[in-house]
Amino acid sequence: MDAEVFRTWIVSAAEVIEANRDHLTQLDAAIGDADHGINLARGFTAVLGTLDTPPTKASTPGGILTLTGNTLISKVGGASGPLYGTAFRRAGKSLGDAADVDLPALSAALDAALAGVQQLGAAREGDKTMVDALAPATRAFSKAIAEGASPDDAFVSLVEAAQAGAVATIPLQALKGRASYLGPRSVGHEDPGAVSTVLILGALAEAARAGR
Ligand code: ADP
Ligand code: MG
C-alpha cells in the first residue's frame, strides 16, 4: 500500500464522517454534548485542506497519517480530537518513512494507534469508548494476518470486529469521557466514538481494496 492508498483512506474517511455527521452527533446527543459529528467533520475538513497544501504536503504513508493527526489535534476541541489525533500520529510514526506498507506494518501501526489512545485516555475495553471498537479490530486484524488470511479477508475481519465492538457498547455503562457523567443512564446507547472508529476503519478497508 503506497501513499496514494493512504491519501484515499483519509479522503474517504473525511467523506464518510461528513455523510454521518448528523448520525454521530445524534449518538452524542444521547450520552454526551451532541458535538461528535460536528467535531470530527470539522477536523477532517481541515485535514483535507492541509493534505495537499505546500509546505505540509505529505508524500509517504507515514507522513500523511502524521499530518492527519497533527491537524486533528489542532482543530478538534472535544476529547475525540486529541485521541484520534494521537492515534493517527502514532500510526504515522510507526510507519516511519516507508514508501510502501505491507499488512504486518499496517497492523503494527494500528496497534501503535490503539496504544496511543489508551495511554492518553486511560480507557480500557468495556469502558464504552472508541477503544471498544479499535481494540478488537486491531486484534482481529493481526490474528487474520498471522493465520495467513488474504488481504481482503484481513480487512473484513478488521471492520467486522470494530462493528461488533461498537454494537457491544450499547448495554455498557460509560466509565470514561463525558458519557460517564450520566452513570447508569449511559446504558442503552451506542458510543459515538466507537461508531466513528468503525467508519474510519471501513474507509481504510475500502481504500486498501481499491488500491489493489
Ligand atoms: P467530547 O466528549 O469532548 O464532547 P466528542 O463528542 O468529540 O468529545 O467525542 C466523544 C467520544 O470520545 C466518546 O464517544 C468516546 O468514544 C471518546 N472518548 C471520550 N473519552 C475517552 C477516553 N478517555 N478514551 C477513549 N475514548 C474516549
Ligand atoms: Mg461530545
pLDDT one-digit tens code per residue, 65-116: 999 999 999 999 889 999 999 999 999 999 999 999 999 999 999 999 999 9
Q: How large is the average pLDDT for residues 190-202? A: 98
CA dist 72 → 84, 101, 158 (Å):
7, 23, 23
pLDDT attached to residue 53: 79
What does the pLDDT read at residue 182? 95
Q: Ligand 1: which of 20, 24, 27, 83 to mutate, judged by most atoms within 8 Å of the beta carbon?
A: 83
pTM as predicted: 0.97
Q: From CA 91, how far away is CA 119, in angstroms rounded?
A: 14
- Ligand 1 binding pocket includes 69 (Cβ within 6 Å): no
Chain position carrying cell 500523511: 64
Q: Which of 20, 22, 36, 199 to mutate to test the pocket of ligand 1 (most atoms within 8 A of CB)?
A: 36
In whole angstroms, what is the distance from residue 169 CA to residue 174 CA?
Answer: 9
pLDDT at 208 over 90: yes
Q: Distance between CA atoms of 121 and 3, rounded to whole angstroms? A: 29
pLDDT surpasses 90 at 52: no
Q: Which residue has the higher pLDDT, 53 or 30?
A: 30
Give the pLDDT confidence score for residue 183 in this predicted structure.
Answer: 96
56 pLDDT higher than 70:
no
Query: Distance (Å, rounded) from C-alpha 155 to C-alpha 9?
Result: 13
Residues 126-185: tens digit of each pLDDT: 999 999 999 999 999 999 999 999 999 999 999 999 999 999 999 999 999 999 999 999
Ligand 1 and 10: CB distance under 6 A? no
Is residue 31's pLDDT more than 80? yes
pLDDT on residue 57: 67
Give dist(CA 131, CA 110) in Å, integer.
12
pLDDT band at 29, cuts 50/70/90? very high
Can you give the pLDDT at residue 54?
Answer: 72
